[in-house]
């Protein structure tokens, strides 16, 4: 997001099963998550807990592609008088070369700072005057922009969006202003943030070739060195219409939308496709270890294992395992490290949902006077136990219930639907694959959880970063770059 500095990894990727049309109802219930899922060829009914009341929604995407390659996905829904217009751009840290890291995040900011026909800040002022808002998010595999607004603003929003794709203001003043803001974000989220710095070092330790080793916010020296030519070349290549998908959800007339898009966006020239990404990470042949000396109150440890990308059949079992390990106070990590052993003040676990193989990471912040080595030992034992004995049916059912609830929650808003379709379009290569995900999660068995634990949690696939607390006056810059 524009105020965000790190890639926030969603625990569950978009999970929406079915076919061309998906329907669901969310009803008040006394149970945490209803266990009934009824599926037909074209519709899905999901019941889950909400605060009160009932809502129902039908999702029927339609699509078309302009001659310049701009793909448009439409979900017309008049449940509320609101529209979410979004764009997903196949531009993120995965597509950056050394020397210009952070340029994707830089453009997330520059996109709101003026174009040929709209002055800086005018984009947001027009939206906010009409009761709307805008935001954006940069990830490793894509950049996502979205606005929510009342239907009467649709034509104006299309004009503003087309204008910034056609003629974004890219000059020295704009570049320097946003460069300074992004550098300050980096200081706040990484350089002066203990956990942010640990994760930055963890990725730089785990990867030696792939662009996933670089932070989404960029290395500070690269941010300093991005030139005006770099910025113009990057925008022309990655913000071309043939590298963008528009997803619009809400109260609009889909029959009239294509002519509007053709008028506003049709004349924008397509560009040659961006260079293919070919940065294969070499096999890891042994454990990698790093220490981070930084001003902090308590020691901590971050552990990561190389795993898979989202298209792998092992992705869903690993994702469910991350929930079993760390979701809620009944999770294995919380029970053992916080309650029973009283080693940890905080625990976390997550799986990257990325195009190329990502990391399965675990984090433990220690209690005072507790040893990082003890926490590591307990984590390694825990993972080994799952590899030897698996997990219980009850643990797996809980994780699947979390997936179902996450699915239903994402479909409650126009912005949630747009974000899910956008993520699948960019990461899976096709938003339609989102309709398969709930079935993929539901098909996972306890044997699958045990199998992936055996396959991926080996010492030779492991990277570890240990935080060694220092007093504030003696901490230094220990960036790996």
> What is the Cα–Cα distance from 313 to 304, expressed in whole angstroms?
20
Alpha carbons 175 and 181: distance in angstroms, whole number: 10
pLDDT of residue 2: 53
- Please tell me the predicted confidence (pLDDT) of residue 319: 97
Domain boundaries, the chain: 61-265, 288-474
* CA 477 – CA 455 distance, rounded (Å): 36
pTM attached to this predicted model: 0.86
Cα 200 → chain centroid:
16
**pLDDT number for residue 340:** 95
Q: Point out the residues of the chain with pLDDT beneath 70.
A: 1-58, 473-481
- The candidate with the shortest Cα–Cα distance to 122, out of 130, 135, 112, is 112
* Residues recorded for the chain: 481
- Answer whether 61-265 and 288-474 agree in fold: yes
Do residues 288 and 326 make contact, with C-beta atoms less than 8 angstroms apart?
no
| pLDDT value, residue 318 | 98
Residue carrying the six token digits 């528009």: 246
b/e map 224-256, b = 16+ CB within 10 Å = eebeeebbeebbebbbbbbbbbbbbbbbbeeee
Q: What is the DSSP string of 57-114?
A: EEE--EEEE-TTS-EEEEEE--SSS-EEEEEEES-SGGGPPTT-TTHHHHHHHHTTS-
Classify 115 as helix, strand or coil.
Answer: strand
Asked whether the beta carbons of 284 and 461 are under 8 A apart, the reply is yes
The span from the CA of 78 to the CA of 454, in Å, is 48
Report yes or no: 122 and 48 within 8 Å, Cβ to Cβ: no
Q: What is the pLDDT of residue 278?
A: 79
Query: How far apart (Å, rounded) are the C-alpha atoms in residues 26 and 412?
Result: 9
Cα–Cα distance between 165 and 423 in angstroms, integer?
20
Q: How far apart are CA 299 and CA 379, in angstroms?
A: 16
One CATH from 3.40.50.10490, 3.30.70.3170, 3.40.50.2300, 3.30.830.10 for 61-265: 3.30.830.10
Residue 86 phi, psi dihedral angles, 5° rounding? -135, 155
DSSP string of 247-264, one letter each residue: EEEESS-HHHHHHHHHHH
Residue 261: per-residue pLDDT: 98
Quote the CA–CA distance of 339 and 258 in Å, as a whole number.
Answer: 57
The confidence score (pLDDT) of residue 58 equals 65
pLDDT digits (tens, 9 = 90+) for 169-202: 999 999 999 999 999 999 999 999 999 999 999 9
Domain 288-474: which CATH number of 3.30.830.10, 3.40.50.2000, 3.40.718.10, 3.40.50.970? 3.30.830.10
**pLDDT score, position 471:** 86
Question: In whole angstroms, what is the distance from residue 20 CA to residue 41 CA?
Answer: 9
Name, in order, each residue with C-beta under 8 angstroms of 170's C-beta and a sequence gap of 6 or more.
110, 228, 231, 232, 235
H/E segment holding residue 149 = strand 143-149
**How confident is the model at residue 8, as a pLDDT?**
29
């Amino acid at each position: 997001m524009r105020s965000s500095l790190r890639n926030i990894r969603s625990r569950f990727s978009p999970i929406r099963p079915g076919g061309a049309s998906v329907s669901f109802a969310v009803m008040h219930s006394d149970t945490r998550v209803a266990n009934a899922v009824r599926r037909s060829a074209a519709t899905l009914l999901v019941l889950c807990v909400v605060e009160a009341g009932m809502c129902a929604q039908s999702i029927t995407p339609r699509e078309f592609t302009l001659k310049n390659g701009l793909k448009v996905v439409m979900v017309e829904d008049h449940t509320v008088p609101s529209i979410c217009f979004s764009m997903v751009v196949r531009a993120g840290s995965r597509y950056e070369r050394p020397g210009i890291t952070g340029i994707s995040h830089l453009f997330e900011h520059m996109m709101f700072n003026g174009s040929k026909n709209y002055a800086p800040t005018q984009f947001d002022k027009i939206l906010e005057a009409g009761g709307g808002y805008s935001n954006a998010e940069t990830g490793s595999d894509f950049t996502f922009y979205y606005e929510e607004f009342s239907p009467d603003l649709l034509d104006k929003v299309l004009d503003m969006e087309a204008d910034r794709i056609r003629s974004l203001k890219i000059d020295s003043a704009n570049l320097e202003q946003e460069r300074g803001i992004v550098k300050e974000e980096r200081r706040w989220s990484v350089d002066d943030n203990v956990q942010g710095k640990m994760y930055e070092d963890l990725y730089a330790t785990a990867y030696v070739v792939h662009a996933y080793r670089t932070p989404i916010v960029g290395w500070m020296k690269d941010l300093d060195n991005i030139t005006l030519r770099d910025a113009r070349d990057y925008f022309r290549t990655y913000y071309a219409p043939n590298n963008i998908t528009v997803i619009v959800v809400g109260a609009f007339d889909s029959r009239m939308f294509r002519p509007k898009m053709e008028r506003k966006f049709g004349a924008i020239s397509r560009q040659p496709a961006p260079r293919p990404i070919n940065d294969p990470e070499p096999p890891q042949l042994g454990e990698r270890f790093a220490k981070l000396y930084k001003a902090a109150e308590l020691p901590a440890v971050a552990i990561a294992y190389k795993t898979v990308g989202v298209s792998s059949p092992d992705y869903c079992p690993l994702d469910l395992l991350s929930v079993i390990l760390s979701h809620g106070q009944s999770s294995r990590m919380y029970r053992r490290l916080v309650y029973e052993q009283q080693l940890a003040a905080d625990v976390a676990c997550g799986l990257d949902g990325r195009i190329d193989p990502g990391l399965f990471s675990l984090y433990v912040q220690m209690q005072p006077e507790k040893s990082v080595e003890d926490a590591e030992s307990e984590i390694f034992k825990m993972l080994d136990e799952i590899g030897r004995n698996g997990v219980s049916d009850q643990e797996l059912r809980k994780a699947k219930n979390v997936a179902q609830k996450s699915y239903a929650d994402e479909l409650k808003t126009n912005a949630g639907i747009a974000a899910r379709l956008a993520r699948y379009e960019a990461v899976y290569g096709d938003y339609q694959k989102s309709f398969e995900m709930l079935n993929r999660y539901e098909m996972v068995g306890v044997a699958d959880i045990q199998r992936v634990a055996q396959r991926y949690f080996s010492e030779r696939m492991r990277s570890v970063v240990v935080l060694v607390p220092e007093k504030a006056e003696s901490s230094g810059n220990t960036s790996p770059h």
